[in-house]
A = this chain, B = another copy of it.
Amino acid sequence: MLELAVLGLLHESPLHGYELRQRLKATLGSFRAFSYGSLYPSLRRMKDAGWIAEDEGDAEVVAGAPPLTGKRGKVVYKLTAEGKERFTELLAEAGPSSWEDEQFGVHFAFFSKTEPEVRVRILEGRRARLEQRREGVRSSLARTRERLDSYTLQLQEHGLESVDREVRWLSELIETERRNVPPR
């Protein structure tokens, strides 16, 4: 999850942790945050896996203005060849995981680097997922409507409207995609 996001950002340019998090916020917006408590462990995992590497070159010894102090330089990460491979691999996969709440937003953020047909499949998968969830809630709501107090009811209905909105949004996106890339 974070993995995909990090690969995507580093795909554009090498970055250090802090900057990476700024970009994460700027790219995913109100959608998702990702704290350092996720980021650094993730970076370590990815480094161990060999997808990314530390890029010396920014923290180099500049004839050390303050050389005595430990001088912990910025740790700049960049994609390795395997990392690039992994990234395209992740971009290509359009399985159920790609359209779950958390995954979807990240996938979507890198749609410009994703194959058009994959884009459509993900959008449709996402929409189907939401519609199915919505029907579940709707029917359960119909069954228990009178037993619920007004607050619970309002919560449910606000939720349903949100889902409706997202479904409509997805439908527009799908149509746009189809116009640009006619089926077959």
Contacts and interface: CB of A to CB of B under 8 A. Distances in A.
Interface centre among A28, A140, A151 (most CB of B within 10 A): A151
A92 interface: no
Interface size class for chain A?
A: 35 or more
Interface stretch (A49-57, A60-68, A77-85, A162-170): A162-170
B151 A108 contact: yes
Contacts of A152: 27, 109, 112
Contact of A165 (B137, B160, B162): B162
A141 interface: yes
B29 A160 contact: yes
A137 B173 contact: no
Interface string A26-55: 111111000000000000000000000000
A154 B141 contact: no
A63 B112 CA distance: 67
5 contacts: A25-B136, A27-B152, A29-B140, A30-B163, A162-B162
